[in-house]
Chains A and B, each alone.
Chain A
């Protein structure tokens, strides 16, 4: 284990947003909006600055060895959270290259979204409440990625869940939105429960919950030990993965994310696209040494990821709500990331997490700008031709679409290609049934659908004739600078962000290093070491060419269908049954309602009638009342004020005592 460095500046990074949240929670309503957003954005910007300084400090402490640089992690201990027996939990932070990437994304993208929110939320009466929640979310997310113990991580994990719930149901006067918040929270609880179970089991096995110690424990396992506890490791990792499917919206727990779009759009961008939903990827990458020991789990993760990516993409094609399209796109892209980590390429997962954070935040903020300009109209059938009215939004949105579609040399191209390549090569090594080819084929198809639905969205929104009514049309305007500046910064990152992770097949001939991979090496090396490529490097170029061709084909198809003035107003009425089935999200919500929802209600009724009413109320509560009452009825016969009766009882008592002692 590398030496660690005490670094107290680290401690301020999560604290700043927390302080901002507390200040706004307590005094926000008394203060003018200017002060509120100055506190919130100020806390974020300073946290970002501290993060940059911390990461530079981390990078400065690198030691080169065999071509790989090892960086001494920065640590900061707040206090001993609790210590009981061998369980000693420190509330402390741990900054290594992986968390460095995460905190830069969180504070960087977070800052931009805070600034964007100034414009977007300017007319909302609950301005301070909004920034309180947002700052609190950032605090929890930072705890999640910086925590050096599973418990601190879990604290953040739950914290972001709460923040997400509060922000989805931010406009709680609308019952549907409040319900969406509850749905997100409850669905997440299912996953969180699994994480807790996984943590218990892990503690039982490893005897500690501090991640560096678990890592050391895992690296010390001998082959025999590994074989002996293989089943347990698979169980633990599957439990963690179930938690990830909740938090990161994978099959079968993805249903909450599309509904989560009920929250304000910047929230969708920050929480439900860029940061919180990637917590699952982070968890797996963080525990890569553990997951790599459980190949079964890895295969499940890869398959679930690929299926989620595919299904979400098909749903995304048929949606007409601008945010719903992006939501399903997010689910789909998260599926890509899980495929990556499932294939053993933790680097590719984190890389795509980063680029996705850039371009999906950009797309969400772009859609927010459109919604803001159109006065809360979200239906793309009523948009069109907006490029005239909002040029900055249009250009940045277009760049985001190109990035997500995987057009060469945009950021999405690099990360997605990396994922496809690892899916093909690594899993061929695992599955005997040509699993790699199947997963690769599925994801290439998904990539094609991705570019199709993104450009469908783009064409229907910005190109063609404006289908809004005249009243709305007269009000359409470009957004203020607080909103457009973040868009431009994110657009820049979306375009150029991929260059820090140039794939080896491209980088080596040109002599360009894969910066991100080298940077993350020390964290993910134990996990990646357990995977070897089997498919030859020779397949890399054709595979990439096919992926790019399919992506561009998707764009072309979208142009043919929607790019030439197509009016989608009547599409749904003309659609066939299959299209409607997909449009209605494969009726998964209804299926869950009919099975799990009904099942729980029936079980609830049964337990209410049987356990609550009969067992507890009648047997355990009222029975004692009846017993006491009956006992009183019987005993009061004796207490009748007749002294002679008392004498009789006494006599009887004497007889009993004498009998007992004398015979």
Chain B
């Protein structure tokens, strides 16, 4: 029962804060709302026994990436009213329609899927599922190549960011 309540709280939190990201006029507010949304998601990760990923979510996403966003916003110091006047054109209508269509299509097919109502049971799972040890083990054994690639990707990303953001180029 408590699990259900937690799920509902976190799910509504994630959805609500995400919606706030879209609605907020000031990008700074958007960024803060996004961080809150990530916290809720981290909660859901915990409920799914993905404790390590929940920590990473908070550390990397909320802590690092979003701080970067906020830095850029501060740096550019943009006031929201300069950027967009509210508008709702036919295209936006199509987009909302298409988005709703996608959501209901997926939701209906999930509902129709036989495995959708099976519960996530605890008894068949090892105690260490989702902790640092098995993930680290996997990362340097069977997933060592993607791991190294991710490292190279981040390196390239850093160099690229520096090159692009440099003042003269």
Interface residues of A (CB under 8 A from B): 644-645, 647-648, 651-652, 654-655, 658-659, 662-663
- Give B92's nearest chain A residue, CB to CB: A648
Q: Do B91 and A648 have beta carbons less than 8 Å apart?
A: yes
Least Cβ distance of A204 to chain B in Å?
64
- In the docked arrangement, what's the CA distance between A663 and B94, Å? 20
- In the docked arrangement, what's the CA distance between A655 and B91, Å? 15
Q: Do B102 and A654 have beta carbons less than 8 Å apart?
A: yes
Q: Do B102 and A648 have beta carbons less than 8 Å apart?
A: no
- Contact partner of B94 among A652, A654, A658, CB < 8 A? A652
- Give A662's nearest chain B residue, CB to CB: B109
Q: Do B105 and A651 have beta carbons less than 8 Å apart?
A: no
- Rank and list the top 7 A-B pairs by shortest CB-CB distance, nearest first: A655-B98, A662-B109, A655-B101, A652-B98, A648-B95, A651-B98, A658-B105
- In the docked arrangement, what's the CA distance between A659 and B102, Å? 7
Q: Do A659 and B106 have beta carbons less than 8 Å apart?
A: no
Least Cβ distance of B69 to chain A in Å?
20
Q: Do A645 and B91 have beta carbons less than 8 Å apart?
A: yes
Query: For B95, what are the chain A residues with a Cβ–Cβ distance below 8 Å?
Result: 647-648, 651-652
Query: For A645, what are the chain B residues with a Cβ–Cβ distance below 8 Å?
Result: 91
Least Cβ distance of B43 to chain A in Å?
29
Q: How many residues of B contact A (CB 8 A)?
A: 12
- In the docked arrangement, what's the CA distance between A610 and B98, Å? 48
Interface of B, secondary structure class, is helix
- Give B90's nearest chain A residue, CB to CB: A648
Indicate whether A648 sits within 8 Å of B94 (C-beta atoms), given known contacts A655-B101, A659-B101: yes
Q: Do A654 and B106 have beta carbons less than 8 Å apart?
A: no
**B92, B95, B106, B109: residue with the most chain A Cβ atoms closer than 10 Å:** B95
Least Cβ distance of B56 to chain A in Å?
29
Q: Is residue B99 contacting chain A, with contact meaning CB distance below 8 A?
A: yes
Query: For B94, what are the chain A residues with a Cβ–Cβ distance below 8 Å?
Result: 648, 652
- Which residues of chain B from 68 to 123 have a CB within 8 Å of any chain A CB? 91-92, 94-95, 98-99, 101-102, 105-106, 108-109
In the complex, besides A648-B98, A663-B105, 5 extra interface pairs with C-beta distance below 8 angstroms are A647-B95, A648-B92, A652-B94, A655-B102, A662-B108
Q: Do B108 and A651 have beta carbons less than 8 Å apart?
A: no
Query: For B105, what are the chain A residues with a Cβ–Cβ distance below 8 Å?
Result: 655, 658-659, 662-663
- In the docked arrangement, what's the CA distance between A651 and B96, Å? 10
Least Cβ distance of B147 to chain A in Å?
31
- In the docked arrangement, what's the CA distance between A647 and B108, Å? 24
- In the docked arrangement, what's the CA distance between A305 and B102, Å? 88
Q: Do A658 and B91 have beta carbons less than 8 Å apart?
A: no
Query: For B102, what are the chain A residues with a Cβ–Cβ distance below 8 Å?
Result: 651, 654-655, 658
Q: Do B99 and A651 have beta carbons less than 8 Å apart?
A: yes
- Give B110's nearest chain A residue, CB to CB: A662
Query: For B106, what are the chain A residues with a Cβ–Cβ distance below 8 Å?
Result: 658, 662
Least Cβ distance of B90 to chain A in Å?
10
Least Cβ distance of A645 to chain B in Å?
6
Query: For B109, what are the chain A residues with a Cβ–Cβ distance below 8 Å?
Result: 662-663
- Give B100's nearest chain A residue, CB to CB: A655
- In the docked arrangement, what's the CA distance between A419 and B94, Å? 94
- In the docked arrangement, what's the CA distance between A490 and B120, Å? 122
Least Cβ distance of A572 to chain B in Å?
88
Query: For A648, what are the chain B residues with a Cβ–Cβ distance below 8 Å?
Result: 91-92, 94-95, 98
- In the docked arrangement, what's the CA distance between A648 and B99, Å? 9
- In the docked arrangement, what's the CA distance between A648 and B92, Å? 8
Q: Do A663 and B99 have beta carbons less than 8 Å apart?
A: no
Q: Do A654 and B98 have beta carbons less than 8 Å apart?
A: yes
Least Cβ distance of B168 to chain A in Å?
27
Least Cβ distance of A647 to chain B in Å?
8
**A645, A647, A648, A659: residue with the most chain B Cβ atoms closer than 10 Å:** A648
Least Cβ distance of B88 to chain A in Å?
13
